[in-house]
Amino acid sequence: MASIDLTPSQQTILTALTNLHRDSEAAVKGETIAKEIDRNPGTIRNQMQSLKALQLVKGVPGPKGGYKPTAAAYEALDIQELDQPASVPFFHDDDRVTDTNVAEIDLSNVHHPQKCRAEIHLRGSIRDFHEGDTVIVGPTPLSDLIVKGTVDGKDTTNNLLILNLKEIIAPAEQKE
């Protein structure tokens, strides 16, 4: 399949749709997407027309209707759907988050002691995270890595939390 270039708005809407659909597995109403990403429902409806034309979204008519992502939507967002993804423990201000899964952790500026950052790519809503909130991710499967920090920003287009790192804990010895 050829690569599809999505606008930031389309990417934000498609990401929200795939996350909301994953939570409920039912059709997702445009109003629900609008609320999730703080946009006007009319904007969502307009963007859905172009996403339908790209065959990334299908409309479901009726009172329980709304929108569902197609398999191509996951490919366009580069999401690999795992049947049983490993669950990475994730805490927000000391409370375990259970409706969100960590997809990826990217570390940047690890060479700089005061400016080390982590980008936490999530599957699920990032709406309730705010600057200054404490986040702990891990231990990760396989490596047992634990990342602790505070939210420095968020990227709703890519469903990322940007953390100002306070601590990275890695096991002292390699597992055989």
pLDDT, tens only, 84-133: 556 788 899 999 988 778 888 888 766 666 677 888 988 888 889 999 99
What's the pLDDT at 174? 47
CB 46 within 8 A of CB 6: no
Whole-angstrom distance, CA of residue 92 vs CA of residue 78: 26
Question: Is the pTM for the entire model greater than 0.85?
Answer: no
Per-residue model confidence as pLDDT tens for the chain (176 residues)? 456 788 889 999 999 998 888 777 789 999 999 999 999 999 999 999 999 999 999 999 988 899 999 988 888 887 655 455 567 888 999 999 887 788 888 887 666 666 778 889 888 888 899 999 999 998 887 788 899 999 999 988 788 999 998 988 887 654 54
Q: What is the CA 162 to chain-centroid distance, rounded? A: 12
CB 105 within 8 A of CB 145: yes
Whole-angstrom distance, CA of residue 43 vs CA of residue 23: 23
Long-range contact set of residues 67-74: C-beta below 8 Å, sequence gap at least 24: 67/17, 67/27, 67/28, 67/29, 67/30, 67/33, 68/17, 68/21, 68/27, 68/28, 69/14, 69/17, 69/18, 69/21, 72/1, 72/4, 73/14, 73/17, 73/18, 74/18
